[in-house]
Amino acid sequence: MPELPLLPEPGDPRLTRRIRGTDQTGAGTEIAVVEERPLTIYLNRQEIVTAMTIGDHPEYLALGFLRNQGMLRADDVVTGIDYDGEIETVVVRTARETSYEEKVQKKTRTSGCAVGTVFGDMMEGLEGLVLPAAELRTSWLYALAKEINTTPSLYLEAGAIHGTVLCRQDRPLVYMEDVGRHNAVDKVAGFMFRHGIGAQDKILYTTGRLTSEMVIKTALMGIPVLASRSGFTAWGVEIARQVGLTLIGRLRGQRFVCLSGEERLVRDADPSAVAEEDGRARRKAAS
């Protein structure tokens, strides 16, 4: 397993491109722009989907996507993961024979950026799901928000990107980025599946909106807490309440809102003692 924490690599030349343009005054300028490339995912001999992605961690993305779609089971033995960078293809091979023709025919376009897709019934697997009765200290939330928002990342370098971070207490463990938040969370899921990381004591932090898709993915991963600096959708909140997921949004500086799973919260930090978020500090961290 890679050494933790696994953090973004904004200096990786494969992930951004320098492009010249003009600013509001007409003066010449040059900025970093995030790359976007297709990745076709196969499960054994069956082509499943082509996803638009920044191109890093293709193996984790493929594993996590298949796991979150219910196409990889918890007890599946992965016998190989073959990535071909020239044709932008990754093949996940399992000991079990698989066929998901019927499931693949039923598609739902989600509200995820870069157009997320869910195959089959979006609610499949949620019935009877019981999430762990974990504890969530508000001091952890404040510490995580500060550290994540100032960690060098593609978001700070170039924007147009979403981040998802797997955390334990006040410590970020795995920080993944992509053009779609669904891709970023799938990379985290793939990492957990590949390395046997338990979910019962984890927090998932995302920079994106708390939509139905994000709530469903987090619940199916078995993670009891989902937090974001962004806002909510009504269906996302409804599903979170249905499955008992703690849902924290608008987490900025001293402020946050909990719309589900309040019973896990331990308010051990005085909000007035927490510094307000400084957007300039976040930009400075990228320089």
Cα–Cα–Cα angle for 181, 59, 194, rounded to 5 degrees:
95
| Residues 44-61, mean pLDDT to the nearest whole number | 93
pLDDT (mean) for 48-63? 94
Which domains are delineated in the chain?
Answer: 136-285 (3.40.140.10)
- Quick check: 142 pLDDT over 90? yes
SS3 content of the chain, % helix, strand, coil (to 5): 30, 30, 40
What's the whole-number mean pLDDT along residues 260-272? 95
Digit-coded pLDDT (tens) for 179-204: 988 899 999 999 999 999 999 999 99
> By C-alpha distance, which of 206, 173, 187 is closest to 7?
173
* pLDDT at residue number 278: 66
Predicted confidence (pLDDT) per residue in 204-216, tens digit:
999 989 999 899 9
- Average pLDDT on 241-249 reads 97
Task: In whole angstroms, give the CA distance from residue 94 to residue 255.
Answer: 45
What's the rounded mean pLDDT across residues 84-103?
90
Over its C-alpha atoms, the chain yields an Rg (Å, rounded) of: 19
Percent of the chain with pLDDT over 70: 89
Across 182-245, where does the E strand assignment appear?
A: 202-206, 225-228
